[in-house]
Structure 1
Amino acid sequence: MVLEKGLSLQVLKAIQSLLMPDNEDSQGLVFTLPLEHLGGIDTSQIEKFQQHLREVL
């Protein structure tokens, strides 16, 4: 996913709570990485996706 910095931690926590609801030991990994450059994606689609996430979260 490509998210603005302010949303990335919220999404990470939501994924964690859905996949590990009881905070049990997990064999998976959820992480974020900074994105310096982006090309080839229609930015209007990113904005629509970000708006959708704001509505859901």
Structure 2
Amino acid sequence: MKFVVVVAITPEELEEEAVQRAQAEGAAGVTVLAGKGLSAEARRTFFGLTFEGSQSVLVMVVARHVAMGILKGMRELLVREGDSRGLAFSLPVEHIAGLDMEQVLAFDKRLQGKEG
């Protein structure tokens, strides 16, 4: 079975909805990290204070065939009216340790039952 890492960077206020969408599309587990977004644009200030948006970074290791559904769900959540509020991408995994393959195969069978 081939695996990929799906990474989604979302505004903090969309974190919970992003996790729910990822799990609905087949992510068994999601690691959530706190982040701070800095863009190439000038930082906005409010009364002389710099505003830097808080972001959540979601990291998931999933079977390759599950990744596209998660990415589509993230696109629906993050892109509204031509404005992007985040980023999601996947990377191939060459080697992996720490997964119980029996659990992975059982989860894959449940997904196949859900689809068919």
Alpha-carbon contact 1:8-1:32 (below 8 Å) kept:
yes
Paired-residue identity, %: 35
For structure 1, the residue ranges without an aligned partner over 5 or more in a row are: none
Give the whole-Å Cα distance in 2 for the aligned partners of 1:14 and 1:47. 23
1:14 is matched with 73
Distance 1:28-1:14 versus aligned 2 partners, 3 A rule: same
1:44 is matched with 102
Higher relative contact order (CA 8 A, sep 6+): 1
Task: State the Cα RMSD in Å.
Answer: 2.6
After TM superposition, give the deviation of residue 51 of structure 1 in Å: 4.5
Secondary structure (helix, strand or coil) at the match of 2:93 reads coil
Give the TM-score normalised by the residue count of structure 2: 0.37
After TM superposition, give the deviation of residue 25 of structure 1 in Å: 1.1
For structure 2, the residue ranges without an aligned partner over 5 or more in a row are: 1-59
1:4 is matched with 63
Q: Normalized per residue, which structure has more strand? A: 2
Give the TM-score normalised by the residue count of structure 1: 0.61
Give the whole-Å Cα distance in 1 for the aligned partners of 2:70 and 2:93. 16
Secondary structure (helix, strand or coil) at the match of 1:40 reads coil
Count of residue correspondences: 55
Deviations 1:9-49 (A, max 9, x none): 122112221x2363441231100000111101112232344
